[in-house]
Structure 1
């Protein structure tokens, strides 16, 4: 039974809690304002060595997971993989895959994905004449990291210096509405550079061609189903310097990935390079899936019926090496993204690689 005295006490405690909470919010707002315009340290990476500093920045690089976090992620994936699609639903996903992507781009146009200005920090080979992007630094004591020396990453630059008339060809698979191609054209003024791009979605290609940045003297894009055994493309085999494969292989059925890599190998020049970046196992996007969205192990369908796979380093390495590629880089990029306003932390996991066709 509550008494008048206990009610007064409860009221005092409640007021005190509100006072403390408001004071914490005020202090947090002050901290946000103080750090709002802080820049990354030299070298392009920001490492979280003290967890009490988590909310000082919007993102932290190369964040290592402990065993407990890895175990929790694995359990979450096992839980959301218990219920899979029916056979009829799987048929729809395969037969109407292009329509699902057309619908996606019809809704979002060119507003969904941001231009990838980070490309030149991760892959300076794409615009060797661009010197404004800092070089990413990965921890040397991480056994999962293999990266080549910067001076060895770009043999194409040497060719450009030797003969200014040598043409350089880049081909992006899954170009979407140009979020990779347009930044490359913007940052590289190399007159001998020409970029090809393809996408499964005819709507995406249509939107890209309507963009004022689309310059037919410097680029050409077309519709292509990259999972086909034979490609119908406007260039010859053994003709491309670089093939870009960024967040696209994950949208392909794992049983068809080898076909894609095999064709990539055919069209690259000897010594040509593949730059790869895609979703890694236990990425936030995988952990967010609910039951009933799983197609097969680590392969899901989103609510808009587009598909996504989550890789391990070993899987990526095997895909390229069994086709004959030499591995120059294969690393896990673990990023901690922070919503400082809502005090939320989000762990992203990406696999990044560079694979070269032997000369």
Structure 2
């Protein structure tokens, strides 16, 4: 049973995005309130990439908008990998159809920004690439299975400022979560951060699952074959700590949502985390 869902996971997610395309999820403009690291001129840029943040306002700070666009085109086409000359790099894992990526690109006009985004579903990645707002000079979308430790990434280790995981870790089999987080942590620069928002234990969605949908403790399969896990704060902290990251934030966001049209009251439980890679790595991590 478990093996079947693992082997066919990409099929289930491809079917999901084929049916819903870009209509299911709304753009996540709340991200910039919860995670200011994704907003323009955020402080992390100066901390994790000091060489790109001089008194002139950054590498391209003195240029007007048109010049900045031209410079950005040159900035991101040289080097050994996409965005290799960028001053600030963000990766979103589990990007879906771009409901996080496109708000980031629209909100942040810094020419030094480059955004990478990946998804297990090739259908989702094609929808991102076909979006009129997709700009290969500022963004690189690719198909990737984060649970595959041997899968390659388009960037070398130690090159990312921010990694974003929004309702994606919960879709993995629990046995694969730790290795996935540890592998992603290697991509971060010293001082870089991993940002997560995901389902918390006893969220309304968990309580509404019917008998027969539970695969293992707190791990369920939906009617369409996609899976979801419901976390505690301690579980997530242990995962990030094991990956060598330090806690900046780990909180529970409890909200009461009222759908007046359907006369439903929904008790939502989400967990939000922010963990940083230490500026000085322990000797075993440096090897």
Q: TM-score range by the shorter chain?
A: 0.7 to 0.9
- Distance in 1 (CA, whole Å) between partners of 2:182 and 2:261 is 46
Partner of 1:93: 5
Indicate conservation of the 8 Å contact 1:282/1:310, yes or no: yes
Sort the Cα spacing of 1:341 and 1:97 in 2 relative to 1 into closer, same or farther, 3 A.
closer
Offset, 1:230: 2.2
Q: 2:182–2:242: 8 Å Cα contact kept in structure 1? A: no
Looking at secondary structure, tell me which structure has more helix per residue: 1
Q: Does 1:215 align with 2:135?
A: yes
1:262 aligns with 2:174: no
Residue correspondence of structure 1 range 248-287 to structure 2 within 5 A: 248-287=168-207
Q: Secondary structure at the match of 1:271?
A: strand
**Gaps (5+ residues) in structure 1?**
1-88, 130-152
Whether 1:233 and 2:145 are equivalent positions in the alignment is: no
- Residues 316-327 of structure 1 aligned to structure 2 (within 5 Å): 316-327=236-247
The aligned residue for residue 30 of structure 2 is 118
Q: Match for 1:109 among 17, 21, 30?
A: 21
Number of residue pairs aligned between Structure 1 and Structure 2: 248
Q: TM-score, normalised by structure 1?
A: 0.67
Q: Which residue of 2 aligns with 1:244?
A: 164
Find the residue that maps to 1:257 and give its secondary structure: helix
Matched position secondary structure for 1:315: helix
Does the residue aligned with 2:186 lie in a helix, a strand or coil? helix
Q: Which runs of 5+ in 2 are unaligned?
A: 60-85, 280-287
The counterpart of 2:228, out of the listed 294, 304, 308, is 308
**Residues in 2 aligned to 1:241 and 1:212: alpha-carbon distance in whole angstroms:** 26
1:164 aligns with 2:58: yes
Alpha-carbon distance change, 303 to 342 in structure 1, aligned in 2, over 3 angstroms: closer
Answer whether contact 1:173 1:197 (CA < 8 A) is retained. yes
Instruction: Please give the per-residue CA displacement for 1:75-112, whole angstroms capped at 9, x wherever unaligned.
Output: xxxxxxxxxxxxxx333211111000000000000110
Q: CA deviation at 1:342?
A: 4.6
How far off its partner does 1:157 sit?
Answer: 4.3
Q: Using a 3 Å threshold, how does the CA distance of structure 1 residues 342 and 203 change in structure 2: closer, same or farther?
A: closer
The whole-number CA distance in structure 1 between the counterparts of 2:175 and 2:107 is: 36
SS of aligned partner of 1:318: helix
Whose RCO is larger (CA < 8 A, sep 6+)? 1
Alignment of 1:4-43 (within 5 A): none
2:214 corresponding residue in structure 1:
294
1-structure distance, mates of 2:182, 2:4: 27
Deviating runs (4+, > 4 A) in structure 1?
Answer: none
Contact 1:251/1:306 (<8 A) preserved: yes
Give the structure-2-normalised TM-score.
0.83
Partner of 2:282 in structure 1? none
Aligned-partner Cα distance in 1 for 2:104–2:247: 24
Of Structure 1 and Structure 2, the greater strand share is in: 2
Offset from partner CA, 1:328-348 (integer Å, 9 cap, x none): 000000011012345431100
Alpha-carbon separation, structure 2, partners of 1:94 and 1:105: 18
RMSD: 1.4
